[in-house]
């Protein structure tokens, strides 16, 4: 092994393998930290000022939500899951996954799917159908005025 020394008094000799080993260990720590953390929804997206419960925000047209189905409606820097179980009856939930704060981005076969770790939620109730999430999607408020959705 070749060691280099800066020549400064008290300088430690560090070999190339030591530097590579520290670099690989540090990178592994970053990867683990990105997927680690709590499962209580404390992710960055969950702390958005326009998350569920805030001031109502325009969310597009109610025609985006099929009767008997659901759609993900982007609003500002967050999104909501809006379902229409029967004609003119709307329910909404935050699309922020409570596992790590990722935004769910798909509704398929009545399930809302989180792209980060595969959690699935019932589109109408927000209940967890498949983990790793242990909590359901946070309820939100939806109002429809003249065909326009307002979400909070």
Question: Residue 136 in contact with residue 125, Cβ under 8 Å?
Answer: yes
1/108: higher pLDDT: 108
Q: What is the dihedral of CA 141, 148, 83, 116, to 10 degrees?
A: -80
Give the CATH number for residue 87.
2.102.10.10
Q: What is the spatial distance between Cα 52 and Cα 61, in angstroms, rounded to a whole number?
A: 19
97/26: higher pLDDT: 97
Instruction: Flag whether 40 is in a domain.
Output: no
Quote the pTM value.
0.64
How many domains is the chain partitioned into structurally? 2
- Per residue in 52-102, pLDDT tens? 456 767 778 899 999 999 999 999 889 999 999 999 999 999 999 999 999
- Per residue in 32-62, pLDDT tens? 333 333 333 333 333 333 344 567 677 788 9
The residue among 63, 48, 68, 66 whose CA lies nearest residue 140 is 48
10/54: higher pLDDT: 54
Q: What is the spatial distance between Cα 142 and Cα 152, in angstroms, rounded to a whole number?
A: 7
Instruction: Flag whether 100 is in a domain.
Output: yes
Same domain, 84 and 145: yes
106/38: higher pLDDT: 106
Q: What is the dihedral of CA 56, 57, 63, 69, to 10 degrees?
A: -70
Same domain, 49 and 26: no
Residue 137 sits in which domain range?
45-151
The residue among 151, 107, 152 whose CA lies nearest residue 129 is 107
Q: Residue 152: what pLDDT?
A: 87
């Amino acid at each position: 092994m070749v060691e280099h020394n800066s020549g400064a008094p008290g300088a430690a000799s560090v070999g190339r393998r030591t530097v590579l080993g520290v670099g690989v260990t540090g990178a592994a720590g970053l990867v683990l930290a990105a997927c680690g953390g709590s499962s209580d929804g404390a992710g960055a997206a969950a702390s958005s000022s326009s998350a569920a419960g805030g001031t109502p925000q325009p969310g597009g047209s109610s025609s985006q939500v099929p009767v008997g189905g659901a759609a993900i409606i982007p609003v500002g820097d967050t999104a909501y899951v809006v379902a229409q179980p029967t004609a003119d009856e709307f329910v909404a939930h935050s699309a922020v996954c409570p596992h790590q704060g990722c935004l769910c981005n798909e509704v398929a076969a009545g399930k809302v799917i989180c792209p980060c770790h595969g959690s699935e939620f019932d589109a109408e109730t927000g209940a967890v159908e498949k983990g790793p999430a242990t909590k359901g999607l946070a309820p939100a408020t939806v109002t429809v005025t003249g065909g326009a959705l307002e979400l909070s």
